[in-house]
Amino acid sequence: MLQEITEEFIKGRALTIGIGTTLQLQLGEKSREFKTTGVLAGLIANEYLIIRIPAIPGILSRLGEGSSVIVRYMYAGNVYGFLSTILTCARKPALILFITYPTSVESMNLRKAKRLQCLFPTVLKLRNNDDYKALMLDISMEGCRIYIEYAAGASPEVEIDQKVDLTFQITGLAEVQTIEGKIQNLKKDGRLAEMGIVFCSEDEAILNNVKLYIDSFSSLEFLPAVKTPIEGV
């Protein structure tokens, strides 16, 4: 039931969001900003959103009525963001925040975002079930670059456009990520191989974890995109 509700996105509006969506909230002024996450618990279109947030130390002082809040979330490879105002908050049975419904939403396609250097231990698995230990050198929402060092005579049988599976560990996350990709470019030199891989999977959970690592939000004052008015506002 919860899954069905989560997938029942608001249609015909610029605010493409579903119950259970994870949100990032930026509270306070820029020099004293306070970031936390929340979960959308409900909404009344054109009136307000209801967000459940963690009761962490210091947060209550930033939840005053009339205070501004920037809300960001991800859907289908895009980051959406909007400016809102705190209406009120309830402390029981959980910390619940009520904010104004946005008059406009801004978006940014993360698949065009820059690559971020990394050093993630990775396993490359081929369709014949051979697997190779690798090191991921950089990552973006579109794909990644990996490096393999193999023993003499054990060169992986790979070619351009070949599909592979990548299993890797993102720093700071306990769960292992596995995603399907396609080899876009390939360079071999002796016992070394370097591959550029494009992600094929549309797994929102994995792409969201990649997005969290890239932390695009930290380099954005606000989402630099064309504003789209909400219907009926």
Domain that holds residue 43: 2-109
Question: Maximum CA pair distance of the chain?
Answer: 68
SS3 for the chain, per residue? CHHHHHHCCCCCCCCCCCCCCEEEEEECCHHHCEEEEEEEEEEECCCEEEEECCCCCCCHHHCCCCCEEEEEEEECCEEEEEEEEEEEEECCCCCEEEEECCCEEEEEEHHHCCCEEEEEEEEEECCCCCEEEEEEEEECCCEEEEEEECCCCCCCCCCCCCEEEEEECCCCCCCCEEEEEEEEEEEEECCEEEEEEEECCCCHHHHHHHHHHHCHHHHCCCCCCCCEECCCC
Whether 41 and 82 map to the same domain: the answer is yes
Number of domains in the chain: 2
Whether 97 and 147 map to the same domain: the answer is no
Residues in Cβ contact with 34 at an 8 Å cutoff, skipping those fewer than 6 apart:
26, 27, 28, 58, 59, 62
pLDDT of residue 48: 94
Whether 129 and 194 map to the same domain: the answer is yes
Whether 7 and 104 map to the same domain: the answer is yes
Residue 224 domain-assigned (yes or no): no
Which domain-ending residue is among 109, 132, 148?
A: 109
Whether 120 and 71 map to the same domain: the answer is no
Q: Rounded distance, CA 219 to CA 122, Å?
A: 27
Residue with tokens 């029942």: 8
Residue with tokens 């962490």: 56
Whether 146 and 91 map to the same domain: the answer is no
pLDDT of residue 69: 92
pLDDT of residue 112: 57
pLDDT of residue 6: 31
Whether 101 and 142 map to the same domain: the answer is no
CATH (domain of 10): 2.30.110.10
- Per-residue tens of pLDDT for the chain, all 233 residues: 333 333 333 332 456 778 888 888 888 766 677 788 889 999 998 899 999 998 888 788 888 899 999 998 877 666 788 899 999 999 888 899 999 998 888 776 655 556 777 788 999 999 888 889 999 888 888 889 998 887 766 677 888 999 999 999 887 677 889 999 999 998 887 778 899 999 987 777 888 888 777 764 344 444 444 444 455 54
pLDDT of residue 26: 87
Whether 7 and 73 map to the same domain: the answer is yes
pTM value is 0.47
CB count, 10 Å around CB of 43? Answer: 19
Q: Taking Cα atoms as reference points, which of 70, 91, 56 lies closest to residue 24? A: 70
Residue 225 domain-assigned (yes or no): no
Whether 43 and 86 map to the same domain: the answer is yes
Whether 79 and 20 map to the same domain: the answer is yes
pLDDT of residue 153: 61
Residue 233 domain-assigned (yes or no): no
